[in-house]
Amino acid sequence: VPDSPCPMPSSPLDILKSVYGYDAFRGRQAEVIDHVIAGNDAFVLMPTGGGKSLCYQIPALCRDGLGLVVSPLIALMEDQVAALRAAGVRAAALNSSLAGPARGQLWDDIRAGELDLLYVAPETLLRPEVLERLRSETRLALIAIDEAHCLSQWGHDFRPEYRELSCLAEAFPGVPRMALTATADAPTRAEIVEHLAIAPENSFLAGFDRPNIRYAIAEKNTPRRQLQGLLTAHPGESGIVYCLSKRKTEETADWLNDQGFRALAYHAGLDAGTRAARQRRFQHEEGIVMVATIAFGMGIDKPDVRFVAHLDLPGSIEAYYQETGRAGRDGLPAEALMLYGPDDIALRRMFIEDSGAPDARKRMERQKLDALLGLAETADCRRQALLRYFGEDHAPCGNCDTCARPPELFDGTEAAQKALSCIYRTGQRFGQAHIVAVLRGESDERIARLGHDRLSTWAIGQEHDARTWRSILRQLIALGLVSVDVAGHGGLAISERGAAFLRNKESLQLRRPQKGSGRKAPRAQA
């Protein structure tokens, strides 16, 4: 193997073979690479593990000059740089932690044209003196903006400094600009290309499907037992368990360790050293279960994560897709299990209402939450529903929980009518637990005091148990027939759609609540 650090003018395929040791391009890689080498901009949307890095690394090696890569996380950059150097590519990272002399040397290399790829965080790149030096002291082969969805104000990873990257078009005229991401629904997509002034015809959208991931979503009945069921099916394998709160990550990790699993907690409340050490263990040891908040996210580059569990509702479908996407990057079967319950829904609604965000944003967030609930409550194929959200049409997959075991439906017309009238009779201000108690004909001091045991709707729902009623109410919420007063105490009210349902005497199919843990032994994918 020649030791020449610089792969002199050779074809992208030669570079793929000699530098990376791969035989063929995947998906749309070759197309993107040729397009950028020819000097065009590109917006690249590929699922996690799709191979985005090569899309900018190879053109940077083929074109004259320095390839500038904007990346949000220093840890992520350093991993990439180390891997590239090991493969003989002249790569470096420019970041604030770089000491004076090393920094001087780096700039010398840049000036002398002795670097192929320079990774930089947006806040560093945007410093006027850095921009100026790059403009005057070197020639850029391209600018690649990784994790480009970070510029979207609507997205879940918004980083304000990413928005400032719009200045690059003017600062470096004629230099191809690339934006790359794994998550973007249609509005986010439009926002990225518009903001970075990349013409829409320069878009390369690869499919979102991750066929090796088996999706399952279940009601949160006995979360610890449900989690244990998942982990038991993956002995000695690595996985991630997402929780909403720091405390819950600690408690869950402790409990898992008591059960004989090797679990580590990870959240933003830990000091940087502990976080880095735990991330390293997860990355390099086998069979570690990382119990984490979403602070554990970007930059995880472990190909053999075999399962991702959500013990609490994620923030949106995009967040769910991205978080579950960390499973099975090696293409081998992996599993994603999400548990959700009414408390999660109420909490998420409260987050939105208390966010202090402008109304338009809150509306958007509510829609995103409803979409996620729709996915959770769907009786159709999960993959189909998930990909439909990203604008893709797919046939039922045969490899998700609803495909494996189609949920039973029942005619929920009467149940919905009863629930709605009970909500109405009690004054449209009581929460789910109270409504269920009245429907079931329970009587306690509060119900007696309110006189709700004398209402016509008291005890009209004895044919269903409390769990079934809770599921029915949740589905009515997900379907938009019932609204939740999250600013107050989670009181339920009849929405306009609910009123129309009653008025028009519509009928309704509901999903029968799942029995047991909602999880069956995993079927290996054929």
- Interface with Zn ion includes 492 (CB under 5 A)? no
Minimum distance from residue 19 beta carbon to Zn ion (Å): 38
Q: Which stretch binds ligand ADP (CB under 6 A): 24-32, 157-165, 283-291, 446-454?
A: 24-32
Single out the residue of 19, 32, 37, 46 in contact with ligand ADP (rule: CB under 6 A). Answer: 46
Nearest to ligand ADP of 328, 342 (CB atom): 328
- Interface with ligand ADP includes 26 (CB under 6 A)? yes
- Residue 252: which of Zn ion, ligand ADP, none does it interact with, CB under 5 to 8 A by kind? none
User: CA 80, CA 274: separation in Å to the nearest integer?
Assistant: 21
Minimum distance from residue 259 beta carbon to ligand ADP (Å): 32
Minimum distance from residue 177 beta carbon to ligand ADP (Å): 18
User: CA 88, CA 2: separation in Å to the nearest integer?
Assistant: 10
Nearest to Zn ion of 349, 383 (CB atom): 383
What is the 8-class DSSP label of residue 147? Answer: T
Alpha helices, H only, 296-405: 317-324, 342-353, 359-377, 382-389, 401-404
Q: Which stretch binds ligand ADP (CB under 6 A): 41-49, 267-275, 347-355, 405-413?
A: 41-49
- Interface with ligand ADP includes 50 (CB under 6 A)? yes
Single out the residue of 28, 52, 368, 418 in contact with ligand ADP (rule: CB under 6 A). Answer: 52
Longest dimension (CA), the chain: 89
Pair 29, 104: CB distance under 8 Å: no
- Interface with ligand ADP includes 18 (CB under 6 A)? no
Per-residue x/- marks for Zn ion, 373-402, CB under 5 A?
--------x-x-------------x--x--
Nearest to ligand ADP of 56, 215 (CB atom): 56
Q: List the interface residues with Zn ion, window 403-422 (CB under 5 A).
A: 403
- Interface with ligand ADP includes 76 (CB under 6 A)? no
**How far are the Cα atoms of 162, 221, 457 from residue 239, in angstroms, in the given order?**
30, 21, 47
Pair 344, 327: CB distance under 8 Å: no
Minimum distance from residue 180 beta carbon to ligand ADP (Å): 7
Q: Which of 512, 511, 513, 506 is nearest to 417 (CA)?
A: 506
Minimum distance from residue 230 beta carbon to ligand ADP (Å): 24
- Residue 400: which of Zn ion, ligand ADP, none does it interact with, CB under 5 to 8 A by kind? Zn ion
Strands of 432-490 (E only): list them.
482-485
Q: Kindly state the tokens that stand for 420.
A: 């709605």
Q: Using CB atoms within 10 Å of the CB of residue 163, give its burial: 0 to 12 exposed, 13 to 18 middle, 19+ buried.
A: middle
- Residue 52: which of ligand ADP, Zn ion, none does it interact with, CB under 5 to 8 A by kind? ligand ADP
- Interface with Zn ion includes 210 (CB under 5 A)? no
Strands of 147-251 (E only): list them.
177-181, 203-205, 213-219, 238-242
Minimum distance from residue 394 beta carbon to ligand ADP (Å): 20
Backbone φ and ψ for 109, nearest 5 degrees, come out as: -60, -40
Pair 147, 70: CB distance under 8 Å: no
CA gyration radius for the chain?
26
Binding-site ranges for Zn ion (CB under 5 A): 381, 383, 397, 400, 403
Binding-site ranges for ligand ADP (CB under 6 A): 22, 25-26, 29, 46, 48-54
